[in-house]
A and B are shown apart, each in its own frame.
Chain A
């Protein structure tokens, strides 16, 4: 013990050899320094996703709210998916802004944004599983479909999905906190050194009271997200859609190829958008308490960011894949566009016509002409 004691005269540490020492010392990993690229590109990608998602999902909601009076079970699900996706993309700019500005919006925004992110993720994914089950019942279990596919039933299921999503998100609401990432205990010889680590920047991350609690929750939350937010919907979709495709291929219907293509597109988009992110998350969770190098951690972090962006893209594609693919839905949507054009004609004088409205008008005329393509849509 004695050989560690030494006098505190300031000169004492000047005579040890610094260069000999520098070698193979491992320090804390510093944040990546390509922050400028993140500042430039990140907002663009996210704003494209945000705008596409806002436009697509609001169109779905407006179409349902204004025009589609006779709502079927599928309509209720599609409307709920659109609401979940809309909430998701609406919170996206706030999350990106806060990540870039050291969570300047404060503790309430931190808990709300992290919590609502989780609610929308779970509800969106579970609703997609519900849609596949609904289609499975309608197409494969035709006899049972009259009993199982009622409006009240679907509303009950949607309420249950939102409640479950809220329940699964409670830990996120509870454990995400807004704090300065200083460490739990500091001991310094000089006061001036203690100031060097105290960062003024806030983060919105997990904070726990006990180490055991931290250990369990840090693994349990991503595991639950993987299980309920990805693998369960994936399994349900694969089961339901493979049964549907099997049935469709046996049926003699001239529209069957289109329906099969739609099914394949729905599953393919789900897998392409969600699988990379969830595999990265799985790897990240499995290697969480393992020692690693800073370079390895940087690569993993970059992979997580890119695959997460790809997963966000799913929200913009859902309106196209589920709502606009249906012929009935498109007809309702056309009526909205036509009515808007009529309004425009009535209230705006011709010379003040903006180019955008006239383009919509032209395209709606064209689509009305081509609306003879009728028949059963896949979304029924």
Chain B
């Protein structure tokens, strides 16, 4: 009887330890740090703003490069310049496509 209890507790403990390797389903891909390096505008394809109103806790501007995303500090002047540059490019692109059609 006692050995049965011990066995049961041991199983429970080992399962608990095994569950260490469980990462809770991380709900969303969030930026948790900022890139210090200054990116040029040229290779950027677009950007996304991550604010704290949803599951992420760090306000970030996410720049899209070919095949990857880069987190940047939204309060830095350089980041603001880059988003302006991208906005201008986006607008020009839209005008071109509008003229074509």
Contacts and interface: CB of A to CB of B under 8 A. Distances in A.
Interface in A316-330: none
B54 A207 contact: yes
A26 B35 contact: yes
Interface stretch (A55-63, A150-158, A285-293): A285-293
A271 to B, nearest CB: 17
A104 to B, nearest CB: 13
Interface in B20-42: 20-37, 40-42
Interface in A125-158: none
- The number of chain B residues touching the other chain, given as a range, is 35 or more
Given A26-B35, A28-B62, A41 B19 contact: yes
Given A193-B46, A211-B52, A45 B85 contact: no
Contacts of B20: 302, 306
B49 to A, nearest CB: 4
Nearest to B29: A28
Contacts of A350: none
Contact of B27 (A27, A37, A181, A188): A181
A193 B45 CA distance: 8
Interface in A1-30: 1, 4-6, 8, 12-13, 16, 21, 24-30
Nearest to A289: B57
B100 interface: no
A38 B23 CA distance: 7
A41 B14 CA distance: 11
A345 B43 CA distance: 81
Interface in B56-101: 57-59, 62, 64, 66, 68-71, 81-90, 92-93
Given A16-B42, A27-B71, A289-B52, A38 B22 contact: yes
B27 A32 contact: no
A301 interface: yes
B32 A292 contact: yes
B12 interface: yes
A93 interface: no
Nearest to A101: B25
Contacts of A293: 32-33
Interface in A153-192: 179, 181, 183-190
A206 B52 CA distance: 10
A183 to B, nearest CB: 4
B93 A8 contact: yes
Contacts of A29: 26, 29-32
A306 B25 CA distance: 13
17 contacts: A4-B84, A16-B40, A27-B71, A28-B71, A38-B22, A42-B19, A184-B51, A186-B46, A186-B48, A187-B87, A188-B90, A189-B46, A205-B54, A211-B51, A291-B33, A293-B33, A304-B24
